[in-house]
Amino acid sequence: MNNRRNEKASTGLSIDGIVAQLRGLRNHSLELRERLDKPPKLPSRTALAAVVEGLSAALFPNRLGLPDLDEDGIDAYVGHTLDTHLRGLKKQIRRELGFRSRQDCYSDPVQRQATQLIRGFANELPKIRQLLDTDIQAAFEGDPAAGSSDEVLVCYPGINAIIHHRIAHVLYGLGAPLTARMIAEIAHSATGIDIHPGATIGESFFIDHGTGVVIGETAVIGRHVRVYQAVTLGAKRFPKNPDGSLVKGNLRHPIVEDDVVIYAGATILGRITLGKGSTIGGNVWLTESVPPGSVITQQHMQQQN
């Protein structure tokens, strides 16, 4: 208490008054959301970051796990790591399910749903690893600066982002969209690559450099697609309901077919289709579908206009 008085005297601030104002604003916000009695717990971003790091280590124990693992100890390490971090993930999913259903996160229905969801997620981990192997190989083959696939795994921000996305996308589909979105935003903060967990991305996906890439919720990306920095796969417009609120969940992002290359700075908007094998040049602004095998450049767009 004496320390607080001394601090007040030295700064001229009324900390107690500011605390009271913040309490009033907080209670008002909770009242508007009808949650004044007991604010529900949300998943913890810090905990989810640790979960993804642990799951990544289990998927790639020799490169992202503990150093100096020997063959005899790898399976034991992977099993222990999975058990630890799946338990941690289940706790965060319970929080989301309780938040969305306005039930206690330890209630029987929430516990059962969380258990079922975690089982479904765990069963998808081998598939996630298989997809990530194709992504890593695509990056190694697609970048002459890559010295090895190991270098790609531990150094490339695009691979970091796609690891997060592959995990988040499964959780999104299983019914944990908030947890999935938080995992996506962890990757966004670390890499500058913003992939909504709802986006569907095929195998052998390569994001080169990556900073500024944006991929929207309903985007569909085929196999063997390569994307460079500052590419946007976004929405052209945002339809509204009669009451003025935005329509949620409509299909508003591009479809990118197999073997497409999109160069730096291209902006692709709306529910359009980039045909198989097309090349989209740098800084192109595109709002119309293009047939398979197209080569779209700024000069091409100017000639069309």
Work out the burial of residue 262: count CB atoms within 10 Å of its CB; fewer than 13 is exposed, 13-18 middle, 19 or more buried: buried
Domain check: are 171 and 261 in the same one? Answer: no
Compute how many other C-beta atoms are within 10 angstroms of the C-beta atom of residue 100.
14
The residue among 157, 191, 225 that closes a domain is 191
169 has a pLDDT exceeding 90: yes
What percent of the chain clears pLDDT 90, i.e. is strictly above it? Answer: 75
User: How does DSSP classify residue 95?
Assistant: H
Pairing of strands 194-195, 214-215: parallel
Kindly report, residue by residue over 268-282, the tens digit of the pLDDT: 999 999 999 999 999
| 38 pLDDT higher than 70 | no
Claim to verify: residue 41 and residue 100 sit in the same structural domain: yes
Question: Are 289 and 150 part of one and the same domain?
Answer: no
Do 150 and 226 fall into the same domain? no
Percentages helix, strand, coil for the chain (3-state, rounded to 5) are 50, 10, 35
Using the predicted structure, report yes or no on whether residue 44 has a pLDDT greater than 70: yes
In a domain, 25, yes or no: no
What is residue 301's predicted lDDT score, i.e. its pLDDT?
A: 66
Q: How many domains in the chain?
A: 2
User: Does residue 249 fall inside a structural domain?
Assistant: yes
Does any domain span residue 144?
yes
Residue 23 forms part of a structural domain:
no
Decide: 54 and 81 in contact? Cβ < 8 Å. Answer: yes
**151 & 235 share domain:** no
Closest to 53 in 3D by CA, of 175, 206, 186, 151: 186
How many other β-carbons are positioned within 10 Å of the β-carbon of residue 221?
23
Question: What's the CA gap between 8 and 276, in Å, rounded?
Answer: 67
64-109 pLDDT tens trace? 998 888 888 999 999 999 999 999 999 999 999 999 998 888 899 9
DSSP code, position 290: B
Range of the domain at 52: 37-191
**Residue 66 CB neighbours (<10 A):** 12
Q: Show which of 191, 224, 254 is a domain's final residue.
A: 191
**Helix or strand holding residue 2 (H, E):** helix 2-11
For helices 45-59 and 157-174, the axis angle rounded to 10 degrees is 110
Q: Is residue 142 part of a domain?
A: yes
Same domain, residue pair 83 and 162: yes
Roughly how many angstroms between the first and final C-alpha of the chain, as a whole number?
Answer: 72
Within-domain flag for 21? no
Q: Is residue 2 part of a domain?
A: no
Structure tokens at 110: 């929430």
Regarding whether 227 and 181 lie in a shared domain, the answer is no
Closest CA to 272 of 193, 219, 230: 219
User: How is residue 194 written in tokens?
Assistant: 């913003």
Q: Distances from the Cα of 235 to the Cαs of 112, 166, 218, 221, 274, in angstroms?
A: 37, 22, 9, 15, 15
Residues 159 and 78 in one domain: yes
To the nearest 10°, the Cα dihedral for 41, 45, 51, 57? 180
- Residue 80 falls inside a structural domain: yes
Q: CA of 202: how far to CAs of 4, 199, 220, 226, in Å?
A: 57, 10, 8, 11
Same domain, 69 and 149: yes
Are 172 and 61 contained in the same domain? yes
Q: Where are the alpha helices (DSSP H) in 156-232?
A: 157-174, 177-191
The CATH number covering residue 108 comes to 1.10.3130.10
pLDDT digits (tens, 9 = 90+) for 13-34: 778 888 898 888 888 877 766 5
Residues 57, 158 within the same domain? yes
Average pLDDT value for the chain = 92
Q: What is the mean pLDDT of residues 186-192?
A: 98
Residues 186 and 218 in one domain: no
223-241 confidence digits (pLDDT tens): 999 999 999 999 998 888 8
Q: What is the pLDDT of residues 99-133, one digit of tens each?
A: 999 888 889 999 999 999 999 999 999 999 999 99
Which of residues 7 and 67 earns the better pLDDT score? 67
Q: Are strands 226-227 and 206-207 parallel, antiparallel or unpaired?
A: parallel
Q: pLDDT tens digits, residue range 197-219? A: 999 999 999 999 999 999 999 99
Say yes or no to pLDDT of 36 above 50: no
Q: How many CB atoms lie within 10 A of CB 145?
A: 6
Q: How far is residue 60's CA from residue 208's CA, in Å, rounded to a whole number?
A: 21
Q: Which positions ≥6 away from 232 have C-beta within 8 Å?
A: 213, 214, 266, 267, 268, 269
Question: Coil, strand or helix: which one is 227?
Answer: strand
**CATH number assigned to the domain comprising residue 260:** 2.160.10.10
**Which of the listed residues 159, 191, 223 is the one where a domain comes to its end?**
191
